[in-house]
Homo-oligomer: A and B are copies of this chain.
Amino acid sequence: MALGKDYGQQDCALARTLELVGERWTLLIVRDAFYGVRRYSDFLAHLDIPRAVLSARLQALVEAGVFDKHRYQLSPPREEYVLTERGVDLWPIIRTMARWGEKHVQNGVACRLFRHLGCGGAVDPNGVCATCGAPAAPGETEVAPGPGANTLHRDDPVTRAMRTPHRLLEPLLP
């Protein structure tokens, strides 16, 4: 059944958010951007989505002010997609969604572990450092494979790079 993208009759901030990031695959693209993926070819290799869908989603995220597009190569022209401040503010949504899936679908087994870089403490379910009590902003958070990670079922560059702990938002690949 074809359904539009908007929720015009819904007077609600949640509906406004879903209009911008609620389409299929969009939040997985944003997740990869937090992991440090920036280039079209890397999103494509990691997400296995049709090129037309990836292009449309990236373009929509640029129009929504979630990504800035930076040219990193002139010939042939190539662009990187980098989260804006507005995009980085999507982190609590990504975090709470991943937390729910971990608790309720994966029996509490984490695919990814998040650590507060300031003091090394684990990030708790509320996004707060369990050691120092500070809210763990994504730029101060390290992601590492968790006990539930099945990193062997894929062998693309993003999956390989994600086997090593690294800071969120930092470029993942050279």
Query: Residues of A with Cβ closer than 8 Å to B?
Result: 1, 3, 7, 9-18, 20, 22, 24-25, 27-28, 31, 47-50, 52-53, 65, 86, 89-90, 92-94, 96-106, 110-112, 126-127, 135, 148-151, 153-154
Contacts and interface: CB of A to CB of B under 8 A. Distances in A.
Nearest to A56: B1
Given A12-B28, A111-B13, A93 B97 contact: yes
A48 B7 CA distance: 9
22 contacts: A1-B50, A10-B28, A10-B47, A11-B149, A11-B153, A11-B154, A12-B98, A13-B100, A13-B101, A14-B94, A15-B101, A16-B105, A22-B24, A22-B27, A89-B100, A89-B103, A90-B100, A92-B99, A93-B93, A93-B96, A126-B126, A126-B135
